[in-house]
Amino acid sequence: MKYLAILGRLEKISLAELEAQFSDVERKKAGLATFLSTEKPDIKRFGGVLKFCEEIPGGFNELVEFLTEMPEGKITLGVSNFKRGANLRKTRVEAMKLKRILSKNGRSVRVLENKEVILSTATSHHNQLAEKKNHVEIVLTDFGNYSLIGVQNITEYAKRDQARPARDAKVGMLPPKLAQILINLCGPLEKNARVLDPFCGTGVVLQEALLHGFVPYGTDLNPRMVEYSLRNLKWFGSEVTKKTFRGVSGELIEKATVEKGDATNFKWNGKIDAVATEIFLGQPMSKPPVQIKLKEEKQRCGAILVGFLKNLSGQISSGAPVVVAVPAWLRENGEYSRLNLVDEIRELGYNVVSFRNSSQGDLLYFREGQIVAREIIVLRKK
Ligand SMILES: C[S@@+](CC[C@H](N)C(=O)[O-])C[C@H]1O[C@@H](n2cnc3c(N)ncnc32)[C@H](O)[C@@H]1O
C-alpha cells in the first residue's frame, strides 16, 4: 500500500528514518515523501514524521466517494494542499467544493478553517483528525489524494520529554524524537528485540524502545545515571499502567535491564539485537570552542567512540545494526566540525550504511545556534 509522510524540520534525517523502515521512499518535494509498506505505519514510533497519510486511489470522484462513505454523523473536514501554486484561497475553494458535493450526497460537513495551506500538526492533533471516526483530513497533491492516518502526538512527546522524574541538565538528555530516529535507523527489528544503549544516561532510548515493543538494555559508566534510568523506567511503567502511554506491554518493562559498565571494556550480558545510543558529547558549551579546546574535545570523544566500537565488535553478530549519535561542534564560521572517524570505524569491522535521499553530511541534528550538535552514524557489523 502507498503512503505519504509529511516531514518536520529535520527533513533529510527523517528521509533516512523512512528509508531504514520502508521500501521505495521517494522525496516528492520539500517536506513530502511517498513510500510503500505492507503494514499501516504507526506514527507513535517515528521521530521525524509529522503526519502519515494513506493513498485514496483514483481521482476526484473516488475522493468524493471516500468521504461520502465515511461513518454516519456530521463530518469534520480538514484540507491540506500541497499542489503546485497552492494558496489559501485555492485551498478554501477546494474545501468548499467538497462540502457542497457532500451536502448534495446527504452528508453534513463542518470544514476546518485553514490558517495556512497545510493544516498545522497542532490543528490536526487537537481536532483528532486521524482518530475520530467521522473526522478527516484530506491531503491534496499533484500526484494523488491522501487521507490522514496518524499525526505526531505532541502532547505525549512533551510528557515523555518533560515529565520524567530523574533529569540531569549537564548530561544533556536526548530529545525523545531523536531517540525514536536512532531506533528506526536500526532498520526493521523483530518484536521483543533486545536493544542496547551502552551510554544510557537518563534512559531516553530505553524508554522509547519500549514503544516499539523492544526489550531495553542500558549500561552507563556513572552509577548515578544507572539509578536515573531505573527511576525513569519505573515512572514510565506507572504512566503505562495509568494508560498515559498506550500500546506498551508492562511485561517488557519488567524485562528491562540497566547496569553499570564502561562501554570501552564492558562485557554485556545476553543477546544484543541492535545498538542505539548517544555517546559522551564532551563538555556543554555556550560559545564555539577555540581551536585547542576543540582538538581536546575531539580527541576525548573520539577515543571513547573508537574504544566502544572495538569492544562491541566481538559481542554482536554479523549484520547487527549500530546507530550512534556523536558530537559535532559549531565553529565561529557557522560550520560544524565533525569527528571524521568514518574510515577508522570501517577498519574496526563495521560497514557505514548510506541512504538514497540523504548523505552522511545531512545526518546532523541541531537546534538553531546550538554549539554541540549530534551527527548520526549508521553502522552494520560486517
Ligand atoms: C550524552 S550522555 C547520554 C544521555 C542519554 N542519551 C540520555 O538520554 O540521558 C552520555 C552518557 O555517557 C556516559 N559515559 C561517559 N563515558 C562512558 C563510558 N566510557 N562508558 C559508558 N558510559 C559512559 C555518561 O555518564 C553519560 O551518562
The CATH number of whichever domain residue 320 belongs to comes to 3.40.50.150
Domain containing residue 34: 2-41+49-151
CA distances to 72, 164, 240, 322 from 113, rounded to whole Å, are 22, 36, 35, 45
Q: How far apart are CA 245 and CA 160, in angstroms?
A: 9
Q: Confirm if 32 and 8 have CB atoms less than 8 A apart.
A: no
Return the best residue to mutate from 207, 220, 277 for the ligand 1 pocket (most ligand atoms within 8 A of CB): 220
What global pTM score does this model have?
Answer: 0.96
Burial readout 282-296 (b: 16 or more C-beta within 10 A, e: otherwise): beebeebbeeeebee
Q: At which of 106, 133, 151 does a domain end?
A: 151
- CA of 212 from ligand 1 middle (Å) equals 22
Give the dihedral of Cα atoms 381, 366, 154, 181; nearest 10 deg. Answer: -10
Q: Confirm if 340 and 360 have CB atoms less than 8 A apart.
A: no
**Residue closest by Cα to atom 13 of ligand 1:** 199
Per-residue DSSP letter, 74: P
For 76-91, the DSSP string reads: EEEEEE-STT--HHHH
Same domain, yes or no, for 64 and 169? no
Pocket of ligand 1 (CB under 6 A): 171-174, 198-199, 201-202, 204-205, 220-222, 225, 262-264, 278, 280-281, 304
| Among 339, 342, 364, residue whose Cα is nearest residue 352 | 342
Same domain, yes or no, for 73 and 184? no
Same domain, yes or no, for 193 and 114? no
Q: Could you tell me how many helices (H) and strands (E) the chain has, helices first?
A: 11, 17
Same domain, yes or no, for 117 and 33? yes
Q: What is the pLDDT of residue 349?
A: 95
Same domain, yes or no, for 21 and 128? yes
Same domain, yes or no, for 246 and 133? no
The structural domain count of the chain equals 2
Same domain, yes or no, for 231 and 287? yes
Burial readout 196-231 (b: 16 or more C-beta within 10 A, e: otherwise): bbbbbbbbbbbbbbbbbbbbbbbbbbeeebbebbbb
Question: In tens digits, what is the pLDDT along the chain, a chain of 382 residues?
Answer: 999 999 998 999 999 999 999 999 999 999 999 999 999 999 999 999 999 999 999 999 999 999 999 999 999 999 999 999 999 999 999 999 999 999 999 999 999 999 999 999 999 999 999 999 999 999 999 999 999 999 999 999 999 998 999 988 777 779 999 999 999 999 999 999 999 999 999 999 999 999 999 999 999 999 999 999 999 999 999 888 888 888 788 888 889 999 999 999 999 999 999 999 999 999 999 999 999 999 999 999 999 999 999 999 999 999 999 999 999 999 999 999 999 999 999 999 999 999 999 999 999 999 888 999 999 999 999 9
Give the orientation angle of helix 176-184 with respect to helix 11-21, to 10 degrees.
40
Q: At which of 127, 151, 175 does a domain end?
A: 151
Long-range Cβ contacts of 354-357 (<8 Å, 24+ apart): 355/15, 355/16, 355/19, 355/20, 356/19, 356/25, 357/12, 357/15, 357/16, 357/19, 357/25, 357/27, 357/33
| Among 225, 207, 377, 190, residue whose Cα is nearest residue 301 | 377
- CA of 199 from ligand 1 middle (Å) equals 4
Same domain, yes or no, for 146 and 165? no
Instruction: Retrieve residue 297's grid coordinates.
Output: 574535545
Same domain, yes or no, for 132 and 20? yes
Same domain, yes or no, for 137 and 173? no
Instruction: Retrieve residue 225's grid coordinates.
Output: 545515571
What CATH number corresponds to the domain at position 26?
A: 3.30.2130
Return the best residue to mutate from 280, 370, 374 for the ligand 1 pocket (most ligand atoms within 8 A of CB): 280
Q: At which of 151, 173, 208 does a domain end?
A: 151
Q: How far apart are CA 98 and CA 111, in angstroms?
A: 9
The residue type found at 375 is E
| Among 39, 42, 45, 8, residue whose Cα is nearest residue 23 | 39
| Among 22, 38, 39, 1, residue whose Cα is nearest residue 144 | 1
- CA of 325 from ligand 1 middle (Å) equals 11
Q: How far apart are CA 143 and CA 28, in angstroms?
A: 9
Q: What is the pLDDT of residue 170?
A: 75
| Among 83, 171, 77, 177, residue whose Cα is nearest residue 127 | 77
- CA of 34 from ligand 1 middle (Å) equals 36
| Among 227, 213, 301, 210, residue whose Cα is nearest residue 263 | 301
Same domain, yes or no, for 235 and 110? no
Same domain, yes or no, for 137 and 225? no
Q: Is 14 helix (H, G, I), strand (E, B) or coil?
A: helix
